[in-house]
Amino acid sequence: MQLEINVVDAFTDTVFKGNSAAVVITDNWLSDDLMQSIAFENNLSETAFMVLDDDGIYHIRWFSPFTEIAFCGHATLASAFVLFNKNPHLNCIKFSAKAVGILTIVQTDDGKIQMDLPNTKPEKVDNIPDSLLAGLSIAPVEVYKNAQAYFVIYNAESDVLTVARDNEQLKQLAPLDVVVTCQAMSADYKNYDFISRYFWPANGGDEDPVTGSAHTGLAPLWAERLGKNHLVAYQASKRGGILDCVVAGDRVMISGNAVQYMTGFITIEES
Known catalytic residues are 46
> What is the bridge-based pairing of β-strands 2-10 and 258-267?
antiparallel
**C-alpha dist (Å) from residue 159 to 130, 138, 156:** 19, 7, 5
**C-alpha dist (Å) from residue 257 to 8, 26, 39, 105, 241:** 10, 25, 23, 13, 9
Give the Cα separation of 36 and 61 in Å (integer): 11
Give the Cα separation of 87 and 265 in Å (integer): 20
CB–CB of 163/135 below 8 Å? no
Q: Which candidate, 86, 182, 173, 98, places its Cα nearest to that of 135?
A: 173
> What is the bridge-based pairing of β-strands 207-208 and 46-52?
unpaired
DSSP code at position 226: H
Q: What is the CA radius of gyration of the chain?
A: 18
Residues 6+ apart with CB under 8 A from 206: 167, 199, 200
Residues 6+ apart with CB under 8 A from 148: 70, 71, 120, 176, 177, 213, 214, 217
Give the Cα separation of 138 and 141 in Å (integer): 9
